[in-house]
Amino acid sequence: MTSSNISLTQFLIEEQRAGRVNPQLRLLIEVVSRACKRISIAVGKGALGGVLGDAGSAGEASINVQGEAQKKLDVLSNEILLEANAWGGHLAGLASEEMDTSQPIPDKYPRGNYLLMFDPLDGSSNIDVNISVGTIFSVLRCPDGVEQPRDEHYLQPGTEQVAAGYCTYGPSTMLVLTVGHGTHAFTLDREVGSFVLTTRGMRIPEDTKEFAVNMSNQRFWEAPMQAYVGDLLKGSEGPRGKDFNMRWVASMVADVHRILTRGGIFSYPLDSKCAAKGGKLRLMYEANPMSLLVEQAGGAASTGRMRMLEVQPTGLHMRVPVFMGSKGEVEAAVRYHQAHDANAAN
């Protein structure tokens, strides 16, 4: 269903009246959305804003905790989100993909009940070529009685998320949000400066003929992934009995947004290059928030071996294999892993 003339603020007030968000969580989401507007402005300026290219100075690349080179916009987006969220009184602490450890709220500000995690600018290697990038965020409750949350207090499974969302900076800027009662999309009205509800209750078609994966990693994949994609590629002549199309933006936000809009499966499986780390994508900043959004839209999300939202995190920057999107297709991918593991056990 497509809606109009309902701003994010109005939507959240209505959710509050319905008892689905409390004032602190409403403020938190408003603050994150305002920060996303600022990031959208910076991204939209492109080369004119002097923000393209690598962070660091004198030819020295700046490297983040993930061991990846940081872009200027990664650093700027991180600062915007930190600054916007520090003083509002809605957070007990926050953690970013770009920072080694979580940060408690400074003593000079009031403290709230929530923990915010974010990937400030996902897909940032796409910035310099003017392809969609995005911000992903996830909200957890700070455990009772914890005044100064430490990393271990964030290590809650994705089922504990009270809200999750992303903002995609593409041809239009869109915020996609769940507070656990459906997944809703808002489009930024740039002239007015507010997010307007454009799809209430996104639904991912159960079946699909479209998959998203970085095929250049094929030779590094595990056997069940080889078998699964091998059968997709056989198309109507193979066991799946239909022809599949492939799309890969290499910005998770853009790929998942397409899947939330028209279906598909997104996958970043285990491969021998990333196996020692557990996968490529991060559980807390990418996989969990996206999995909640996808599940709330009727889709499914898995590591290939278990439901993503039930994974017990062991570290803030933990990585996992990812399969998410149309329910029927995610279940098919999982079946290949189950069959392989069952054979290996016999």
Paired strand residues for 74: none
Residues in region 33-72 near ligand AFP by CB under 6 A: 68
Q: How far apart are CA 24 and CA 239, in angstroms?
A: 51
Scanning 9-17, 117-125, 173-181, 300-308 for contacts with ligand AFP by CB under 6 A, the matching segment is 117-125
Identity at 54, one-letter amino acid code: D
List 103's β-bridge partners, or say none.
94
Rule CB under 6 A: say whether 122 interacts with ligand AFP.
Answer: yes
The single residue among 251, 267, 303, 326 that binds ligand AFP, judged by CB under 6 A, is 251
Could you say whether residue 250 binds ligand AFP (CB under 6 A)?
Answer: yes
Per-residue mark of binding to ligand AFP, 141-180 (x: CB under 6 A): ----------------------------------------
State the Cα torsion 306-311-316-318 to the nearest 10°. Answer: -20
Stretch of 9-17, 46-54, 221-229, 247-255 contacting ligand AFP, by CB under 6 A:
247-255
Using CB atoms within 10 Å of the CB of residue 191, give its burial: 0 to 12 exposed, 13 to 18 middle, 19+ buried.
exposed
Under the binding rule (CB under 6 A), the answer on residue 135 touching ligand AFP is no
Report, in Å, the least distance between residue 99 CB and ligand AFP: 15
Of 98-106, 155-163, 237-245, 250-258, the window that binds ligand AFP (rule: CB under 6 A) is: 250-258
Q: Which of 40, 85, 124, 208 binds ligand AFP (CB under 6 A)?
A: 124
Task: State the SS3 of 203-227.
Answer: CCCCCCCEEECCHHHHHHECHHHHH
Listing DSSP states for 298-340 in one string gives: T-EEE-SSSBGGG---SSTT-EE-EEEESHHHHHHHHHHHHHH
**Residues of the shown chain interacting with ligand AFP in the complex, contacts defined by CB under 6 A:** 68, 122-126, 214, 250-252, 268, 281
